[in-house]
Structure 1
Amino acid sequence: MKGRYVVKIKIEEFSEFQYSENNFIKITDKDFNIKQMCLNNLTENRLNTAISKIGNFNENREEIFELLSEDILSEVNGFHVYELKEWLDQMIREKFKNGTTPFQII
């Protein structure tokens, strides 16, 4: 069948939509709070714990980021964990871009 299709999306007040695998997933206030909790748990202590388990930060950045992400996500329930992991991985990389870190590495 050829032709044009119009898709209408109702956007409710104080909500967002994200596009994922041809579906729109509503981001609710609860989801936003979970993301905020993840960011709040991205701490110097957690980073140094991940580094102590894996080794040198500059040589093992990807493994450290992966462990840090898994550690934070282990506390999250009731969310699309795959989408959250992608988002959290991006936030971690953003925080440590250009080879810098906002934390003191021990």
Structure 2
Amino acid sequence: MDQLNQGLVWIDTDGCCLPSSSSLFTAPQWELAEMVAEKEALARAKDKLDSFDLKDWERMASRANRAEQVRYRLRREYTAEMATVAWAKMFESIGALRLLEDQSAAALE
């Protein structure tokens, strides 16, 4: 139990034997033609994005990302210091599932 508390686990490897490295990755490489075409199309789209000005891109991306707007409001209205998307989801879940008592919710207003 002490090992678990320290994040350590002992695995008995006495009976184990690894294959030789010369036997690894010997099969010929395979590709899915449909996926190769998709990968090339994605690379072409990415190449077009590389010419965007970084500040313009960040401004456009933040406007398109609704989670950023939620995070902004959480920081402004509730003075949330660590308003990450995960924190916002937790905040939403606590409110929707009514996990806090009513007087606790009133303190947030």
- TM-score band by shorter chain is under 0.3
Taking CA–CA contacts closer than 8 Å with sequence separation of 6 or more, which of the two structures ends up with the larger relative contact order? 1
Task: Give the TM-score normalised by the residue count of structure 2.
Answer: 0.24
More strand by share: 1
Structure possessing the higher radius of gyration over alpha carbons: 2
Q: What TM-score do the two structures reach when normalised by structure 1?
A: 0.25
